[in-house]
Structure 1
């Protein structure tokens, strides 16, 4: 069996673990010890252990035993899990001979890159605080293999220890508005305003969404408690979350800043670019669904991009309290709701698939699929329920893309594509090459065009 990339979690005795992305058929036992030595630099490690299906510790001391570990790991996974990249981390336990006083106490990240003359695989190890760890069954997002940038300065060098940039595991002491200096309005609507802001104590630029909510203290606590689930979402395709806090009946949700902004301003997007964006959108949905989280608000304005070509989901309705609190004025998102949600029926992942189809349709064509009169939102909702579902033009788009969108936008939930269907769909497979440079180049050019248009208008 061709074994796909997945995550090995190196579990230490301290309050942190290290995640290591591996290609199992491309690493050796000796290389594994080298990475462990970087994680635990003042120890003597000659072996490591893993737990079998009976929770018994098995020791690994050779390439053969490591291959057996990988084989045992993949035998615990279903074929569907492997196909759609829902792979839980494999936890290993270094056998430590000497205990140091401090082990990587600064939470460093290790990037090990292959030299041009070496067969070593691309490996990434990142710090995972123990308190933010997910359950043992949590999958990692592996729709596409890790790619090495051609201009990476470490590509011909030895393993290098790098101090990581602030991510969602960073602790920001955001307790009140004075910590933030608001620099620019990025957008907004009935759900609230979004700003580019500077967190003055750390010098970190972030995106801050401010929503006015007239709610009592108990509801505020419930909202903040539910928003803490964002801390579980540590993925390259989910926006990094820093903190949320209330101040005078306004909630501030502080997240990673993406310099390209939301996708709604870019439509129409060429199919080769949109296809690679779609791969990352689906990876994000796969990751969230694996954590039993529904996005509930998939639309172009909730998908962000940056000039490095990264595409990330944001603003998902994880807080039911928050969603209820702004529901009276938050009409816009209803346009992307599946028919069963509009009817007030039970819904699940098929409703997310519908919203994905609507979103891809709009991003590809530059227009919303249905006739949309903002002054008569009920007319739009009635159209979504009763009218024939719009179709993409066969003359303008590839048959695979037309097929994908059509099978997402089916009236009956049971007729829509499943997560597994989408992951192996020919359109997604064709664009699942990890080439974010295509996205980066196009986004940079479009931003320049938009800037020039503003200057001349």
Structure 2
């Protein structure tokens, strides 16, 4: 990350406030949150947002998400300078709302203890207490307790993407000495999206195919689930323009083999598109 001073512009209903940060690499989430609360003392601010290159708002709730924001901004700032432009301030938009302790608005609880007798993973509101969700919660508990990666072993490097309720980061697993892709999902999302995430996690956990992204582990910290998977250094196909026919042939074969593998346990992929097809520099799809 760039260590030179940057200007952070806090956008508030009563106007903007600019603040210069001499060493952004030392800035942490709580420091910035305190600065925001000083500007907005009447509001309960628990998070803030920034805008990506297409204008989508990305929420920041933790140190790792702050690092991803600063990494994105420093890259943008360097591009502006290379084009002879004066860098714009980093604009952030405070979010006033519930305190961190009640962000999990649907009351989802996860018991990660391995003792089945103490299983309370389906302790959710009555409206969600159906067999399908109980099964998903029990499966989630089993996945979490079998994990080999802990939150403190992860060093987040940069943000890779954002969507479907979560943000994906490139990260380094210190003990495993390997690069991972980590999808961080806050649980203050809709019930339907929670079900989708549980389904995705269960499918990743069960799959074992060279044509399906490798799942390593998942952990649950501070109302967020983090899913650790194989990092594909070539990114997704939507970032490429013209692809030669012989390469497209290999991609098509890999996609069909992946879909065929998924169909063996009767899993139907309903969103086959270039952004969901990942490649690496070893030629794997």
Same fold, judged at TM 0.5 (above):
no
Bigger proportion of residues as strand: 2
TM bucket by the smaller chain? Answer: 0.3 to 0.5
TM (norm. structure 2) is 0.43
TM (norm. structure 1) is 0.28
